[in-house]
Amino acid sequence: MFIDKATIHIKAGDGGNGAVAFHREKYIASGGPDGGDGGKGGDIIFIVDDSLSTLSDFKYKRKYKAPKGADGSGARRNGKKAEDLIIKVPRGTIIRECESGAVMSDMSTDEPFVAAKGGKGGWGNSHFATATRQTPRFAKAGMPGEEWDVTLELKLLADVGLLGFPNVGKSSFISVVSEAKPIIADYHFTTITPVLGVVSLGEGSSFVIADIPGLIEGASEGIGLGHEFLRHVERCRMLLHIVDVAGSEGRDPIEDFEKINHELEAFNPELAKRPQIVAGNKIDLATDEQRESFKNYIESKGLQYFEMCAPILEGTKEVINAVAAKLSTLPPVKYYEKEEIPLEVTLKRSNTGFKITVEDGVYIVDAPWLIRIISQTDMDDYESLQYFQRVLISSGIIDGLRQAGIQQGDTVSIYDIEFDFVN
């Protein structure tokens, strides 16, 4: 089953909790604090697997959760870091944050992508010993792992997209110019999934061509099969439009050409501007008048036009050479740049509640939604600190600290940062 879009929930592992422990040794009356730190939670990591060609693995499994880091223990023994959770996807998969639609990663290279970071392990009580607090009886809980709803969308990596109505000869063409073996038959929609083929030009030169399942009028509005696969044309550097010049299906070649281009523009206006070469197929069935009429029409639009009879290789070499020449002048396959997920989305999807506890005079704030803001805050930058302060005020945390009895100079601890409270 070809599935090229899926929505899943990912949750990185929480960090392990720090330990509260004190050194115990014979002949030592009062050992100091020696609680170890918790281990880091596992990350959620996406990698490309070229043996995959569909997102069908995500049809039945929708939730992915990495393991939690181990808790710390006495004798300053830190908890073990949790294993990362690896998720394999086909090359060309776009990962987006669901609500904003922001691109998190384009999985077109071999570089792994950490989609959700595991939480840091909490500090053991050995970190909190000071000259005035020699026996701290508290430790930090591990930080929660990041959590997202993400959409996976497969956009094929191909240099050239084959376009055309059903049964115009696209499958025949790709089968004779590449090693691809699509189903070929004399009925509509024999191709129901995109087919990739590598066209070799010799001396290490080649390009990838994609046979996009047949488009029909209204495809951009969801009619027929084409609307499901139009997204795969978006990466293509250029288009090869194959038309049944003989009108053997009872359709007019010129109308076919215009309808397909209309669907491209309706789906994505950029596609209508993509370089395009037109190939008139089935010339063995066409009259001289039909061939001449269609040729004149296409050339009047300033497009390159070639005639061919794909099954017997007539004219296919000329088409391939023209495509290769055009590709040499075009930029690489489109790559989707990473986009920043709006902060308001992070806050909106999170519970902005908080909890304040007091341990040995330290005011500890627990607010998982703050983690992402802390990670983006530069403690050495004045404007960044001012923004962080505004978040603490607007969320009610400052008022909550005052209600808990905090005084000037008392210590506030928020995950891995500490500061003295100033009224």
DSSP letters of 279-293?
A: EEE-GGGS-HHHHHH
Asked if 69 contacts 39 with a C-beta cutoff of 8 angstroms, the reply is yes
- Chain center to CA of 349: 19
Predicted pLDDT of residue 308: 97
**350-423 maps to CATH 3.30.300.350:** yes
pLDDT of residue 182: 45
Model pLDDT, residue 353:
77
The three-state secondary structure class of 170 is: helix
Whether the pLDDT of residue 6 is over 70: the answer is yes
Sign of CA dihedral 362, 366, 371, 373: negative
Stretch 268-281: mean pLDDT:
91
Q: What is the mean pLDDT of the chain?
A: 85
pTM: 0.73
> Topology of domain 160-327, per CATH?
Rossmann fold (3.40.50)
pLDDT tops 80 at residue 385: yes
Closest CA to 168 of 183, 194, 189, 141: 189
pLDDT band at 323; cut points 50, 70, 90: very high
> Is residue 189 over pLDDT 70?
no
- If you average pLDDT over residues 258-263, what whole number do you get? 88
Q: Which tokens go with 247?
A: 């009108």
pLDDT exceeds cutoff 70 at 186: no
Cβ atoms < 10 Å from Cβ of 366: 17
pLDDT tens digits, residue range 211-259?
877 554 444 444 444 456 677 778 889 999 999 999 988 889 999 999 8
Per-residue pLDDT, averaged over 301-318, amounts to: 95
pLDDT value at residue 183: 43
**Strand 147-154 relative to strand 44-48: parallel, antiparallel, unpaired?**
unpaired
Side-chain-side CA neighbours of 259 within 13 Å: the count stands at 18
Rounded (5°) CA angle 144-149-150: 125
164-to-41, 122, 186 alpha-carbon distances in Å: 50, 59, 15
> Nearest CA to 246 among 175, 185, 307?
307
pLDDT given for residue 180 in this prediction:
64
For the domain covering 1-155, report its CATH number. Answer: 2.70.210.12
Element of type H or E holding 307: strand 304-307
Q: Between 53 and 116, name the one with better pLDDT.
A: 116
Amino acid found at 77: R
Looking at residue 88, its pLDDT comes to 96
Question: Are 105 and 68 contacting, i.e. CB atoms less than 8 angstroms apart?
Answer: no
275-281: average pLDDT: 96
CA distance 226 to 114: 33
Helix or strand run (H / E) with residue 397: helix 397-403
Domain parsing of the chain, residue ranges: 1-155, 160-327, 350-423
| Distance of alpha carbon 150 from alpha carbon 138, whole angstroms | 37
Is residue 291 pLDDT above 90, yes or no? Answer: yes
Asked if pLDDT for residue 15 goes beyond 90, the answer is yes
98-102, 129-133, 341-345 — most confident range: 98-102
Domains 1-155 and 350-423 share a fold: no
The answer, yes or no, to whether residue 364 has pLDDT greater than 60, is yes
**The pLDDT of residue 339 is above 70:** yes
Q: Number of C-alpha atoms within 13 angstroms, CB side, residue 363?
A: 22
Strand ranges for 16-92 from DSSP E? 44-48, 63-65, 85-89
Phi, psi (deg, nearest 5) at residue 15? -75, 150
Beta bridge partners of 22: 33
* pLDDT at residue 160, as a whole number: 93
pLDDT value at position 217?
47
Report which of 118, 166, 159, 162 is spatially closest to residue 142, judged by C-alpha positions.
Answer: 118
